[in-house]
A and B are shown apart, each in its own frame.
Chain A
Amino acid sequence: MTGRRRPSRGGERREPWLLLGLAGLALAYVAVPLLALLQRAPWRDLGALVRRPVVIDALALSLTTALAATAACLLVGVPLAWVLARSRLPGRSLARALVTLPMVLPPVVGGAALLLAFGRRGLLGGPVYEATGLLLPFSAWGVVAANAFVALPFLVLTVEAGLRAGDQRLEEAAATLGASRWTVFRRITLAQAAPSILAGGVLCWARALGEFGATVTFAGNLQGRTQTMPLAVFLAMESDREAAIALSLVLIAVSLAVLVPLRDRWLPG
């Protein structure tokens, strides 16, 4: 503390100019397109634009499907992360590569693959349709499925890192106190991984909210049923640029409202 009060002499406390310059460049690269969007925004008509049924439908669908996809990813992704981090089962590195795949795969390819698996004539979708008449593609559930497919790796990798960072000796301490393996998982492992589960959930949700390629391929683009915000923006760019900008602003506002408070509290840095 005393060092801070001393007048600064020399440059050892100052950040290197090169780093500052490059960091500024990165920030500007994100900020400039956003500014362009704001500058072209139809502020006067914004209220009316945002209240159009097409916008409200898309926003409601985006928020609910992204939330549902996040819930589904949490339900199966946390156990998968635990298996990857803790178990000694063979084939874990293969499983990890498989989980990471949707991150690097073009989403359109993911959507096509989903269609081949769960479509009307798909590997699993065919028999299910024959037996029950239920169809996943081109429904709101299809949007959830597409979202979950691309967003799952963000949750699994974050939670796996959190589980690895946890102190496993606390689990041993709980075991010596009489805790069953399930109690240890619930009260010690999950409690320790809670910040990473939240962070992973937020990343997962954010990825699901912005999903386009897999959704349009697997679920289509039907207003009120499968047309999410990104699809509505894409469509509007062709026909009604002002509406597209208004939609984009809404999407940005919603994302910031969720990410900013959580980023400060939970994400590292």
Chain B
Amino acid sequence: MLRAGMDLTLGELHLDVDLEVADGEVAALIGPNGAGKTTALRAIAGLHPLDGGRIEVDGEVLDDPAAGVFVAPARRPVGFVFQDYLLFPRLSALDNVAFGLRCRGWGRAAARSEAGRWLARLGLADQAGKRPRALSGGQAQRVALARALITDPRLLLLDEPLAALDAARRPQVRSELRRHLATFDGGRLLVTHDPVDALVLADRLLVLEGGRITQVGSPAAVAARPASPYVAELIGVNLLQGRASGERTVRLASGAELVVADPLPGPDVALALRPQAVALHRHRPEGSPRNCWWATVEDLEARRDRVRVSLAGPVTLVAEVTPAAVAELGLVAGARVWASVKAVDLSAYPV
């Protein structure tokens, strides 16, 4: 259990953040560049001392300037997976993973054999002798994960764990990471600027803007009710969970089925859909859209030149339309409309 009240100034940035991460929980700090996400992680790891506030993990105080307490990074029960992974280039994958145990006084042979077990657990047994340079991005990430977890931390921090990967490899590595994160029972706090990473990996989002947390909630709650224009634009995507019921068909919990354009990546998927891609109609539309249903307007919210329309029905989601469309369709709470989505606008991610 992490409890952190952090107050620190670094150049232009003034970080003033209170956050908690429970054991077993995956929390994501999400926000624009320069919001202070990485600085917050570094403060928790002890790489930036606080100016004020207090950080504690499982009741142990790690940093409290007022009380004169500062525990060095090496002595914190915190694992850190860095952006770009920062594997030691001159050590093999095996010795990278064994490093933390060697620092704790383990003998070389014992540390290596334990590291070998961790590599095998992450499916990397045959990569043990390779130097980091010879590993793929996804393999390097797993080595970094094993290296951080082998010391048995009570909190795991991950800084942009997927940013170093090219777009084609991300979905698969993302779902592997999700699986491996699930095997760790401490708290997990990850930093990302990618809403899909946050939505797929995290149980709870902490939105950080300009050094302050502006919104906290489950991915669905944050996406449904974004508290700021940034969140609305970046995270305000609809996220639907479902199971594959055909090569290109997803069945949602409500029983509704949605058709996607490309073959599905796995049996359990998350579908991401931008609110602007949801079309609303007074009558059942004819022609191409195959995903079409009869929905009830729950709520309307004006946001700059757009109106966000919350819809209930077989598919719960948010549509974003122009004020003119609202007037034309006579949208009020309780009104009934047809909603449609093109298959190509649904992006499927393995879960």
Q: Are B151 and A178 in contact (CB under 8 A)?
A: yes
- Minimum distance in angstroms from B81 CB to a CB of chain A: 10
> Does B103 make an interface contact (CB < 8 A)?
yes
- Minimum distance in angstroms from A170 CB to a CB of chain B: 6
> Does A169 make an interface contact (CB < 8 A)?
yes
Q: Are A169 and B74 in contact (CB under 8 A)?
A: no
Name the contact of A169 in the complex, choosing from B46, B75, B79, B86 (C-beta under 8 A): B86
> Does A45 make an interface contact (CB < 8 A)?
no
On whether A175 and B72 interact (CB within 8 A), knowing A170-B86, A180-B103, the answer reads yes
Q: Are B90 and A178 in contact (CB under 8 A)?
A: no
> Does A71 make an interface contact (CB < 8 A)?
no
Q: Closest B residue to A172 by CB, please name it.
A: B47
Q: Could you tell me which residues of chain B, from 300 to 326, have a CB within 8 Å of some CB in chain A? A: none
The tally of CB-CB contacts under 8 A between chains A and B is: 57
16 A-B residue pairings within 8 Å (CB atoms)? A169-B82, A172-B47, A173-B80, A173-B86, A174-B88, A175-B73, A175-B74, A176-B80, A177-B74, A177-B100, A177-B103, A178-B103, A178-B104, A180-B74, A183-B103, A191-B90
**Complex interface: chain B residues within 8 A of A167 (CB):** 86
> Does B147 make an interface contact (CB < 8 A)?
yes
On whether A177 and B151 interact (CB within 8 A), knowing A172-B47, A183-B103, the answer reads yes
**Complex interface: chain A residues within 8 A of B80 (CB):** 173, 176
Q: Mark A139-176, 1 if CB is under 8 A from B, else 0.
A: 00000000000000000000000000001011011111
- Measured between alpha carbons, how far is A188 from B90 in the docked complex, in Å? 9
Q: Are A177 and B99 in contact (CB under 8 A)?
A: yes
> Does B62 make an interface contact (CB < 8 A)?
no
**Complex interface: chain A residues within 8 A of B264 (CB):** none
Which of B78, B79, B80 has the most chain A CB atoms closer than 10 A to its own CB? B80
Q: Are A176 and B74 in contact (CB under 8 A)?
A: yes
Q: Could you tell me which residues of chain A, from 181 to 204, have a CB within 8 Å of some CB in chain B? A: 183, 187-188, 191-192
> Does A179 make an interface contact (CB < 8 A)?
yes
Q: Are A174 and B99 in contact (CB under 8 A)?
A: yes
Name the contact of B78 in the complex, choosing from A176, A179, A183, A187 (C-beta under 8 A): A176
Name the contact of B103 in the complex, choosing from A172, A179, A192 (C-beta under 8 A): A179
Knowing that A170-B88, A173-B88, A187-B88 touch, tell me 16 more A-B residue pairs with CB under 8 angstroms.
A170-B86, A173-B80, A174-B88, A174-B103, A175-B47, A175-B72, A175-B74, A176-B76, A176-B78, A177-B100, A177-B147, A178-B104, A179-B74, A180-B103, A183-B103, A191-B90
> Does B148 make an interface contact (CB < 8 A)?
yes
**Complex interface: chain A residues within 8 A of B103 (CB):** 174, 177-180, 183
**Complex interface: chain B residues within 8 A of A183 (CB):** 103
Q: Closest A residue to B82 by CB, please name it.
A: A173
**Complex interface: chain B residues within 8 A of A179 (CB):** 74, 99, 103
